[in-house]
Amino acid sequence: MILVTGSAGFIGANFVLDWLAQHDEAVVGLDKLTYAGNLESLASLKDDPRHIFVRGDIGDAELAGRLLEQYCPRAIINFAAESHVDRSIHGPEDFIQTNIVGTFHLLEAARAYWGNLTGEEKTGFRFLHVSTDEVYGSLAKGEPAFSETRRYEPNSPYSASKAASDHLVRAYHHTYGLPVLTTNCSNNYGPYHFPEKLIPLMIVNALAGKPLPVYGDGQQIRDWLYVRDHCAAIRCVLEKGRLGEVYNVGGWNEKANLDIVHTICTLLDELRPRQDGKSYRAQIALVTDRPGHDRRYAIDAHKIEHELGWKPAETFETGIRKTVQWYLDNQGWVNNVQSGSYRQWLEKNYAGRG
């Protein structure tokens, strides 16, 4: 059995679904069910005895300890995090509490649990911490992509909180011997993505006839990773990764934000044309950039390929088509996830940016 934190979030839910599609090994999922945690993403597992869901916070040390003692997992995969840069700018405290304090409490619970294991159970235990490329800061045009030895230079409250959690994980390995692994991934996209991030927001707004807000000049560059490729990478690191090591996970797909939006519009023009015959590109609106917006991220994923044999299966062209089609086919999920608080957030974030 494995314990997956943040299991109802975007990447966590995809990981649980993919895991149970390929393994008989059971999953205990732990999620606080904040705005981005959505049990509907796991609805297909409702009657699956291999899936046990617990609502709770990784910052609840008593709960974490109890779950570990009750279910005796062989591994913890920690996806639980506040992850939206704009939200961290408007309200950084939640990011400090979840990403730093929460990770600390989870590490403490894991250390106590692991300390009581013996034999093969102890040597086989793993704590896999899922992090982000944003901890490395911003790249200049032409600068080499982020490697695992890149100096940390986080530029937002979100990335700073994730950097702190990465350092805690490293420290627990070097100080206490806790058998940890860390992955730093590039921008994920795919099914079940909460529609505040770029790709799902553009799809949802386009279909609703709303403006497609693009920050600044739209030339911010990101490396894009299809979420199920990311899930495969995590399974690979869990199985074969060297203890204490960091593995960067990327899609080898550097794209400017405006190019991403143009691609989405082109796909929607093909798959769900506007009734007036115009392109969805007519809805694009450049808006005031966000404070401290990093210009470029890029992942050097050679280490995980050379050491563990993982590389992404999807190109951006195949992955984005699957993603757009999923949102077209799952409008019920989209409608249900758009609560009143989510709409209020969009209004707050984009007010006055036109």
- Positions marked active-site: 133-134, 158
Coil, strand or helix at 124: helix
Burial of 46 (0-12, 13-18, 19+ CB in 10 A): exposed
Number of neighbouring beta carbons within 10 Å of residue 26: 16
- Give the list of residues 6+ apart from residue 124 with CB closer than 8 angstroms, or none: 74
- Residues 6 or more apart from 94 whose CB is under 8 A from it? 82, 87
Residue for token pair 């300890």:
65
Using CA atoms, how far residue 94 sits from 17, 83, 231, 251, in Å, is 27, 10, 26, 29
| Rounded Cα gap, residues 143 and 23, in angstroms | 40
DSSP assignment string, 133-155: GGGG--PPTTPPPB-TTPPP---
What is the rounded CA–CA span in Å between residue 228 and residue 22?
12
As a three-state string, the secondary structure of 264-308 is HHHHHHHHCCCCCCCCHHHHEEEECCCCCCCCECCECCHHHHHHH
What's the distance, Cα to Cα, between the start and end of the chain in Å? 49
Q: What is the DSSP letter of 242?
A: P
152 within 8 A of 135, measured Cβ to Cβ: yes
Specify the DSSP element, H or E, that contains 224. strand 221-226
Query: Are 264 and 238 within 8 A, CB to CB?
Result: no
CA 227 to chain centre: 8
